[in-house]
Amino acid sequence: MSKTKVAIIGSGNIGTDLMIKILRTSQQLEMVAMVGIDPASDGLARAKRMNVATTHEGIKGLVDMPEWNDIQLLFDATSAKAHHYNWNIVQQYPDKRMIDLTPAAIGPFLVPPVNFDESHNVRNVNMVTCGGQATIPIVAAVNRVAKVHYGEIVASIASKSAGPGTRANIDEFTETTANAIESVGGADKGKAIIVLNPAEPPLVMRDTVFTLSEQGDRDAIEASIHAMVSEVQQYVPGYSLHQAVQFDDISESKPVFIEGLGYRHGLKTTVLLKVEGAGHYLPKYAGNLDIMTSAALATAERLCRM
């Protein structure tokens, strides 16, 4: 079976980790080019050592490379602002598709175990954010049992795992994740918070998911959450529940006020998650980056099977 030829735009931590995942683990993708803008970047140096073609002249440099004509799929691991520029060029070539790992959100949000079937026909899909990939499956798992009025997530990541791109995209992170909690997770209202944890030694990614839903069968909700965790673990083995699922009643006599929704009562569900990276290129504590590259890889391989 011939492999799908792919390129990565962005030679930083995320792009380099994704490249190594493809080279080491993928049976369906062929890594043919790594694109950067810094000729001294570690990502470009590693790509050269692994016999992957490189350019430090960005997307325009890639278009001028002989490999360009054969590339079918591009991963963008740059920044939200850069993705707009890159897509303006790539969309001129109808035979090429993009998987966007930035918070640019030009294409529809895609979280593999939740809405792949709704998004696979478009040319540009957005992988939301690391916090979104970790937590939106849980919001969706609750929502398929009991309608979720409000979903709030808190993503805590090691400060050392947040590079310049992540730090530059903090505002886009919270806005994009909140929007995806609603449009993909199914919540009427979403909120996202990110915490850069400066602890030493660095701690693995931790995510807390709060949902306020209609009352529902608690055993069914818990079973739905466990089933969703198992689905995510198929492509992110380090993804796990950190504690048992917790439930609290919000009574009609003591409702909570949610901005944009007003007063609501129902069932509060709290889910605590831990995401440990695979350690392909990045330290294992960088689960926030690993879940993004793993989700993008799983999406690409699934697209190739269609």
Nearest CA to 47 out of 37, 55, 58, 38 is that of 55
Rounded Cα distance between 285 and 267, Å, is 33
Give me 84's structure tokens. Answer: 């707009």
Give me 65's structure tokens. Answer: 């490379």
Q: Which residues are the active-site residues?
A: 130
Among left, alpha and beta (phi > 0; psi -120 to 50; other), residue 266 is left
Nearest CA to 206 out of 196, 216, 218 is that of 196
Residue 187's SS3 state is coil
Kind plus residue range of the DSSP H or E element containing 142: helix 130-143
| Chain mean position to CA 259 | 26
